[in-house]
Structure 1
Amino acid sequence: MTCDMMQIFSLKLAKSPIKSASLQLYGYIAARDDFDSKLNYVFRRSRDAPIIAQQGSMIEMTGPKRCIAFFCDVLLEFDMRVKNGEKGEDDVQLINGVLEFQGLFMRWEPAKLRIGGSCGAVDMSFAFVNDAVTAIVEVVVSEVKNGFDLSLTSIISVVEVPEEFQLFVGTVRESCDLRKFVIAVTVDSMLQLKFLVGNIGRSCSFKAKLNGYARRQIMLDFASISVKVTWMAWAPA
């Protein structure tokens, strides 16, 4: 069966304690839903492996591992810090706390939320997707002859309004698997993936189904990109 889901599109460091310089950011942002009440990490970095960010830059998401079911309420928990020196007690708390999204009071359209703290803020772009299934997107880059810049974005419909968001941006120098991307898509609607490889644009579309999978292959002169989308409906216990 399908269910309503929460889709987080992006995270951005909106306010930094050091405005003009890069900083090392770590911690987590995670959701809890009624599926199993466990933490479903949207962003998670240890102190030993922080990301480099500055005010106004996007924060690369590392999850979620599964879609965020929205049966009634969703809790968003967060604890993000700025690394400052050798010891953890010297670090600066960026944001810390819990937010509750209540189904009766949510607007079913793309929205932005500022999560503020005493020393900074993170902007989150999100939406609730009704009658949704889970798309697990796997991308394999192979036969790489030359390094190239790769950008991958996704387009889904939220209340019949197309919403485009970035999944990956970076430089590919050798054959690799990108991390799996988990996306909530309304059943029978279209999921579109757009690839920008250097200055070459390619796209492929997939119709959301209750189950099954589909593959696409993008052949370039200097690399091959294989895309697999697996569809999963929510299964009640």
Structure 2
Amino acid sequence: MASVGGGGGSCTRTIDGRFGGGTRGTESAGDGTRGTKRAGDDGTRWTQSAGDDGDSSDQMGAGEPLAPWGGRDRNFINEIELLDDSKHRDGSIYTGSSFLHKLFRLNYTEETYLEPMMLSMPTDCWPDPVDCYEHLFCHMMQIYSLKLAYTSADADTSGNPILLYGFMAVRDCLNPRRNYVFRRTRDDPFVVVQDSNGSSFIRMSGPKRGIEMQSLVLVEFDMRIKIGENEEDDLQLIDGAIYFDSLVLPPDMIINRRIVGDCGAVDMSLAFLHCAAEATIQVGISNVPDGGLSLFLQAHANDIKNGIWLFDNVVSEPCELNRFVVAACRGSKLLLIVKSRPVNGTASLPISKFFIRDVRRHGSDSMTFNVHTAKIDVKVNWSTLDLPSSALREDNHYPFALDD
């Protein structure tokens, strides 16, 4: 997918003075206690506000349309600074000459060619795949949720749902190519609605594979609000890039950062995980009841209460869902919650099933759930990101990426 360029209506609110990596503002501890952070001080621990932990709703089905407003949520989250000269709208992200522009090859717009499950069934384990010392766990990033925090008054759609399109992608030092976590075209925008808790989550479509975080990770985005018939009438929600440094992030806990743009803001909930593996979740559904099956899937891992939303929709015919990639720490367990009910049934509450497995380096685990008349097959493939050099192109690592 080519980057979304051109167009973009203007908004009355502008953001300037952005530069890389730091955070600023205040954050509430949920009990009325407030504090401040120095720029770049990501090591400070904060207690999150109740209801803002990044969980998606357990309710199945869409809520009411989001009503845009021009105010700001002053009780929750710190803003993160944008990189200088990193806009898609003016093309500066492709021509920048800073260290990070070169490190992550921001002038390259290709999707990462690395696939998930690359070491699920290796042949060179020592002494064996179960007790393997050849392939190591590595530090990883897990993005738990994206949420539309607010929009400017210019984005008022008169009570209609907000339509988002564009992309958000992660670039790591394993392969400095786009690993998309959100990707929608203007012809197929994401419809933002509020769930039963009043939150406006942006459903992620990725990542394609696990996100390595041995050092730096860069997040690139160009997300817009569809307004009218023509692209030039659309509004720029957020545009640019940010980065995270593993040396200053608190390990194995949720952090929340706000990306502020011209016409609103997006909240990102993520975690920096020590010694993790890639879990690729595959779900197949057969024997779908007449009228369809309302299905909700959520993953929990790393002894963190926040859930990772995987799926929440109606399945009308037998199918295989898109693959879901989750990072899970060594020594923890992966919990998959499956809730379902027939659309035309009389059941008022969904039937819940649980899939629990220990995190490991290689191999796979599977389980079959029978709910109502449907059959749900779940398979988890485990893999480390300790890939051999033969699996990588020469431009993957930073000594090559720094070359012009």
Counterpart for residue 31 of structure 1: 170
Equivalent of residue 260 in structure 2, options 99, 104, 116: 116
2-structure distance, mates of 1:145, 1:54: 27
Equivalent of residue 91 in structure 1, options 234, 239, 242: 234
8 Å CA contact 2:351, 2:371 repeated in 1: no
How big is each residue's C-alpha offset from its partner over 1:153-197, in whole Å with a ceiling of 9 and x where there is no partner? Answer: 11101xx44432321111112111111000001123210100111
Compare the two structures and name the one with the higher strand fraction. Answer: 1
2:364 match: secondary structure: strand
Greater radius of gyration (CA): 2
Q: TM-score, normalised by structure 2?
A: 0.56
Counterpart for residue 175 of structure 1: 318
8 Å CA contact 1:21, 1:54 repeated in 2: no
8 Å CA contact 2:340, 2:371 repeated in 1: no
- Is 1:186 the counterpart of 2:329? The answer is yes
Stretches (4+) displaced over 4 A:
none
AA matched with 1:134: E
- Is 1:138 the counterpart of 2:282? The answer is yes
1:112 match: secondary structure: strand
Q: How does 1:144-223 map to 2 (within 5 A)?
A: 144-146=288-290, 147-157=292-302, 160-198=303-341, 199-223=350-374
How big is each residue's C-alpha offset from its partner over 1:55-104, in whole Å with a ceiling of 9 and x where there is no partner? Answer: 74211111000011001100011110011222211110000111110122
8 Å CA contact 1:142, 1:224 repeated in 2: yes
Residue 49 of structure 1: how far off its partner (Å): 1.1
2-structure distance, mates of 1:25, 1:163: 24
Equivalent of residue 156 in structure 2, options 11, 14, 18: 18
AA matched with 1:227: V
Q: Percent identity?
A: 40
8 Å CA contact 1:13, 1:54 repeated in 2: no
Counterpart for residue 103 of structure 1: 246
Equivalent of residue 44 in structure 1, options 183, 202, 205: 183
Alignment: residue pair count: 235
AA matched with 1:218: F
Counterpart for residue 378 of structure 2: 227
Provide structure 2 residue ranges, at least 5 long, that are not aligned to the other structure. 1-135, 342-349, 390-404
1-structure distance, mates of 2:353, 2:308: 16
2-structure distance, mates of 1:148, 1:161: 29
1-structure distance, mates of 2:217, 2:267: 18
Q: TM-score, normalised by structure 1?
A: 0.94
Query: Relative to 1, partners in 2 of residues 1:120 and 1:54: Cα closer, same or farther, differing over 3 Å?
Result: farther
1-structure distance, mates of 2:200, 2:268: 12
2:306 match: secondary structure: strand
Equivalent of residue 223 in structure 2, options 56, 80, 83: 80
RMSD between aligned residues:
1.4
